[in-house]
Amino acid sequence: MEYATTRRQFDHEYATEWRRERDWLKERGFTPTFIRILPGGIERYKYRKTEKLFDALAEFYREVDAERSWKAAERKMSGAAVTKKLSLKDLVKMGHVTISAEDLREILADIEDGDNDGDNAVVGTPLLPEDDTI
C-alpha cells in the first residue's frame, strides 16, 4: 500500500459535520478553529485537538450512547406491548402481578361464564375489582 506524502503528516484539527455535536461543544465554550463548506452546502466544523476537547467529546458520546440505549429499550418495550397481548394469568405467571389463588379462580370463572366485560380480563395492564389483592 502506498501512502501520499505531504508536509503535513496528520490533521491537527478535529472535524465534525453534526450540528448537535457543534451546538453541544459551543454550549461548553468550544469554538471552531474554522468552518469549511463542503459540496452540497454541508458545513464541517474544525476544532483544535486538545485533551480538554476530547474529554468533552467523551462526555457527549456517553450521553448519546445512553440516549440510544433508552430509545432502543423503549422501542423494544412498546413493540412487546403492541405485538403480544397478555392476560392476567400470563402476567401472574411472569411474576408481574401478585394475586391470591382464590381471586384468580374467581376471575377465571367469570371469564368462563361469559362475564368478559373487561373489569376482570386484562390486556396489558391488570384491572381488578377493588377488593382483590395485587
Write down the domain spans for the chain: 13-83, 85-134
CA atoms within 13 A on the CB side of 3: 6
pLDDT surpassing 90 at residue 2: no
CB 120 within 8 A of CB 99: no
pLDDT digit string, tens, across residues 92-122: 566 655 666 777 677 777 777 765 554 544 4
Task: Give the pLDDT score at 122.
Answer: 44
pTM exceeds 0.95 for this model: no
Cβ neighbour number for residue 53 with a 10 Å cutoff: 16
